[in-house]
Every structure is written in C-alpha cells, then in structure tokens.
Amino acid sequence: MGYNRVRFNNFRNIEPREIKWSPGLNLLTGPNGSGKTNILEGINIVSGWGPLERGTRSSSLPTWDSGSSEIQLTGQLDDENGEIIKVKISSRYTIKIDEETITATDLRWRIPVLSFLPNDMSIIEGSASFRRRLMDMVLTLIVPAYASRLHDYRRGIKQKTAILRNGGRTDLIDRALLPLASWIWKMREEALVMISESMKDMCGLLPNPTEIRLLRGGSGSLPSPDEDFRYSLKINKKREEVLKVPVVGPHRDDMLITTNGAPAALSLSRGYRRRVAVALILAASEGVRRKLGKNPVLLLDEITAELDSEGRNILFCALLDRKTQVFASTAEPFTESFPGRIYAVDSGRVEIIDEN
C-alpha cells in the first residue's frame, strides 16, 4: 500500500501541483533548502501524523504566496479502491477520505507511515529521545490504545513535576501513573522483541550481530513492571524531592543497542552506525507489516549521508528487498544505479529525471 499521487496546494515552498509516485522507491534529489524535506512533510501530514517537527504551528506552513492561509493536501491511495485523502489546514485540521471526515488515528490505520528525519538517523549515537520515538511510532501503528495511554502518562508526569516543584506529596499521582507506566514498559519490551526478530536478511546492512533491549527509565530492573515501578519510586523518592523532577518511568527509557556485545555507539564507525540505524528502521517496518498485514510507507530524509559507495549499494538493496513504497531524499550526488524513480527538486519545483 502507498500513494500513487499527492497534490500540494499552498504548502511551504512546494509548487502547487500534483506529483505522481512510483509504488516502489522514490528518491528526491537536490540541494539543501530546495524543498525535499517539505515534500516528505506533506506526505507525513496527509498520512495523519502532522508536521515532521513536533510543535510546528499551522500558521507557519502556508508560504506559496497564494494570498490564502489555507493549505490543502490531497493523496490518492494506490489500492483497488483508489481512495482520496484530503487534509485541509487553516485554524484547524480537517481530514476526509472520499469526503467522509475521519480522525488522524483512523487515517494512520488506513495508511501506515514511518518517518525519519536526519536527527532520527542518529538512533545509535543520539539522545535517548530518538530511540523512544522509534518505539512510540511503531506502537502507535500496531496498538490502538498506545497513543492515548502515552498521552495520559505524559500528562501525569507534568502534574507530578508541578507537585515536586511545589514541595508536595506525590503518593496519589504515583498510584495513578503505576498502571500506565508498567503497561508502556510492557508494550515497549514487546516491540523491541518484534524488531529484533525482524533484524535479519538486511542485504548485509548489519556489519556484526546486533542486539537491542529496553532500559527502563530509572528502574531497579525487577522482572515485573509493576513491582519494578513501585520499588524504583521507593529507592528514588529522596532523589526526586531534591531534583524536583520525576526520575523513574517510561519518559526516561532508553534502548540499549550492542554489536558483538559492545555498545554500537562506541564500537562502530559513523558509516556503520548509520547502517545499523537504517537496519533498525527497516526492521521496525517489517515488524509493523507482520502485525498489520500491510507494508508501511517509509519517509527517509538524507538517507545516503555518511555512507560510502558500498554502504549505499547495500542500502538500496535493503530498501528494494522490503517491497514497500519509500520516499527518500538526499543532497549528496552519487554514481551508483538507484533501483527506483529519481526526482530533481529545485526551489519547490519537482521534475522526474530517471524513471528506471
């Protein structure tokens, strides 16, 4: 499943027009600032995820000098029904499929999408927030209740932070957080098992055997998530009171990534770290496919950065092997043959330069 065409109207610097896509690999090429990432963002929005950067105001999106503050993005699904998705953005978001209004959550189930920005490619050496985002994206797609429970947990953590700063007791909020925290821990651990099982046959992307596991935030690592949360809160009570921030729970989780038993961030070169990050993304995609029965669309920004010729060829092989629709971008020229359609992007204008 994917898109056979997407129309952009009044969206950032993208020329108002309809763009037809390949059902396989689509590569956007062009210099930085040409509009490649904006195209990926438009596809992300028409898939129910919203802007790529969290907290982006809708008023900052329309920029094509149309005189209108309203954006319309239209996508046609590449399936037997050819459903039309329309997203209008003005003072609020409106999403419709074939003129029937639906929620963003429902849309994500109709057309699953996984998106990754250049910073997200720093899954290996970047901060824990990148690795939590990977887990959360996957679980949002495959577990219906995950997004709402994660939202409730984050809201509870904000309330607990306010209580700690005011010197109050946190017993009540801790009891409310317990079932949410233990459930999220359980879901994330199951997601990592699923991703780990999918990290095979990657056309050689993984330089060495690679393992992943969840590091529960601030926990004492007791087997039971419930018991672990209670125990960890008990032993960290004084620390939280001094620091005035919650130090135990999923908001501080991390994913431990090791290769040949050593931390990947310390034992691998930048190029190999990049390859392991891409392998994790593709394994997450495969895990989603197994759970939902349909391939998620992949949005990959600056996909070839820091990869040598061998690494790029292995990457293209792995992407092709997934048999899913991919929208990737790169500002780097390369001489390898790309097994898909190539588009040139220049000042928001898009042109097909290689059908392949």
pLDDT digits (tens, 9 = 90+) for 251-302: 999 999 999 889 988 888 888 888 888 899 999 999 999 999 989 999 998 8
Query: CA angle at residue 31 from 203 to 57, to 5 degrees?
Result: 95
Average pLDDT, the chain: 89
Q: Which residues contact 210 (CB under 8 A, 6 or more apart)?
A: 199, 257, 258, 259, 264, 276, 279
**Mean pLDDT value across residues 19-33:** 92
Residue 83: its H or E element = none
- Read off the amino acid at residue 341: R
Of 110, 103, 43, nearest in space to 81 by CA: 110
CA 125/CA 11 separation, integer angstroms: 33
The pLDDT, as a whole number, for residue 284 is 92
Query: What does the pLDDT read at residue 247?
Result: 97
| CB-CB neighbours of 282 under 10 Å | 26
Short-list 187, 137, 163, 312, CA closest to 240: 163
Distance CA 74, CA 82 (A): 12
- Confidence check: pLDDT of 333 > 90: no
pLDDT, tens digit (0-9, with 9 covering 90-100), for 174-210: 999 999 999 999 999 999 999 999 987 788 888 888 9
- Full-model pTM: 0.86
d(CA 273, CA 254): 17
What is the percent of the chain with per-residue pLDDT over 90, rounded to a whole number? 54
pLDDT value at residue 19: 93
pLDDT mean over 50-58: 63
pLDDT band for 63, please (50, 70, 90 cuts).
low
Name the pLDDT band for 153 (thresholds 50, 70, 90): very high
Measured distance CA(48)–CA(104) in Å, rounded = 4
Nearest Cα neighbor of 127 from 253, 220, 212, 281 is: 253
